[in-house]
Amino acid sequence: MSTTGKGVWNKLQSPSTRYSVLTLLGIGFIGGIAFLTGFLGELKATAQESFCISCHEMRENVYLEYKNTPHFSNKSGVRATCADCHLARDLAPKLARKIVAVRELFHKVKGTIDTREKFLDHRLTMATRVWGEMKANDSRECRSCHDAKAMDYAKQSRRAMQQHIRGDREKLTCIDCHKGIAHLLPDMKDIDPSAVIGGHI
């Protein structure tokens, strides 16, 4: 360690001659509370729908599609927002998702999907990535609202009932069958469905 480094380290280890230990602990405690409050506030702010659609790429593409689905408007008046479907409720996976979202900032700056044409060109790649994440976590965000154990098959259409029973039997997860539930599907006319996550469209 250099002489300068040793000097700094020694100062950090030495007790303060100006402030009492209690004062230093108090400053640290208040600083920690201020940091935590700001951090959680920022976490909450960036989970709002207004934040999600603040860029034109989302507002003019997937948001317009989502507005035409039952997740946006339905007879019960319960709305699933962007964060409900794309952000975990528990802190650890929520933080992990926020860290992964750094790549989205990179592509925003790069202009990867800044036009409708570019967005459509990248749509399958983006959709497959999201489907893969949802498959890996057993459709965790879907299950925040939908509980398979609470489903009354008798109140479902015959086709829905058969599909849900089959899904239970084959250990499928929500995203295996509900890929186009809130957004339009990518163009997959030249894609083998079995190559897509889950194989069910």
139 and 162 both lie in a single domain = yes
Count of domains in the chain? 2
Burial class of 104 by CB neighbour count within 10 A (0 to 12, 13 to 18, 19+): middle
- Residue-wise pLDDT for 128-176, tens only, equals 999 999 999 999 999 999 998 899 999 999 999 999 999 999 999 999 9
Other beta carbons less than 10 A from residue 145's beta carbon: 11
Could you tell me the pTM of the whole model? 0.78
Whether 13 maps to a domain, the answer reads no
**Could you tell me the residue range of the domain that residue 37 belongs to?**
22-52
128 and 190 both lie in a single domain = yes
Q: Could you write out the DSSP letters of every residue in 101-166? A: THHHHHHHHHTTT-SHHHHHHHHHHHHHHHHHHHHHTTSTTGGGT--GGG--GGGS-HHHHHHHHH
27 and 68 both lie in a single domain = no
79 and 157 both lie in a single domain = yes
- Residue-wise pLDDT for 43-93, tens only, equals 899 999 999 999 999 999 999 999 999 999 999 999 999 999 999 999 999
